[in-house]
Amino acid sequence: MQDALKLAVERIERTNAVTPLLDAEVLLCHVLKKERLFLYTHRNKSLSEEAFKAFEEFVEKRIAGMPVQYIVKKQEFMGLDFYVEEGVLIPRPDTEILVEAVIKWANNRKNDNITIVDIGTGSGAITVSLAKYIKNAFVYSIDISRRAITIGKKNAVSNGVAEKIEFLEGDLFTPLKNKLEGKVDILVSNPPYIPKEEIDKLQIEVKKYEPRLALDGGTDGLDFYRRIIDEAPFFVKKGGYIALEVGHDQAELVKELMENKGLYTEINKIKDLAGIERVVVATL
């Protein structure tokens, strides 16, 4: 087992992967259906021919650039396990900053029932986490991708919050028309924000495997923010909360879009653990 793992690490390393050892260990653990501690306490254990073949197939996929999360079909987010596959965006740790900001605001609302709209379901990471951690919340989760809706529903069921979520297929606010005008307490979104011309310059894991639909934010990366900021006032209550994840250099630009609209107050930027302004929040 140790020899197979060492060889896999060396091969993955040659692709300039950021975490070759971790990648190899996660893949081997998935094959063996064991925790990573098992690899250290059973270093000299032999792999069966079947396990070795499966591990080799996984390593080949990783060398080709496929993200580990798509290979093992899962990703942890906010302490919860999410099923992921090609066609939905992989949840990232940075997005936990967005979710935590919403939870903090909601917790200050005491026992009021809270209506939340999440634009851009993806894997359902934001939607499911909010439904899980905000006791009195009901979440409407919107995505234009049918696959995203399907995966979101799957993760809602596996995390025990399906009854607190309604998934809606459609473009941005379209599914909410004649349904939730002026009734939304919280609007949250991690929209596509990569400038179109920058996508092909991203690492292979992203540009080749993650859905372009979830990445392409238009010429300057701000297309979806303009639409959300323009349309949100029709749906969010006065005094309601808007929380948007942004790209690493977009926080000030998104803040200015809100200021120019003239309907948003208490506009603030929130930094992630690396000190990057990752979230913009405001009150309507």
- Is 120 annotated as ligand-binding? yes
**How far apart (Å, rounded) are the C-alpha atoms in residues 70 and 87?**
10
**How far apart (Å, rounded) are the C-alpha atoms in residues 64 and 75?**
20
Helix (H, G, I), strand (E, B) or coil at 280: strand
- Is 158 annotated as ligand-binding? no
- Is 121 annotated as ligand-binding? yes
Exposed/middle/buried for 168, CB within 10 Å: 0-12, 13-18, 19+?
middle
Cα separation values, 273 from 51, 77, 94, 104, Å: 38, 16, 8, 17
149: amino acid identity, one letter: I
- Is 122 annotated as ligand-binding? yes
**How far apart (Å, rounded) are the C-alpha atoms in residues 32 and 94?**
30
Find the helix or strand (DSSP H, E) in which 118 lies. strand 114-119
Name the residue among 142, 139, 132, 143 with its Cα closest to residue 115: 139
- Is 143 annotated as ligand-binding? yes
- Is 191 annotated as ligand-binding? yes
Strand ranges (DSSP E) for 214-256? 236-245
Residues annotated in a binding site for S-adenosyl-L-methionine = 120-124, 143, 190
Task: Pick out the residues of the known binding site.
Answer: 120-124, 143, 190-193
Residue numbers in the known binding site for substrate are 190-193
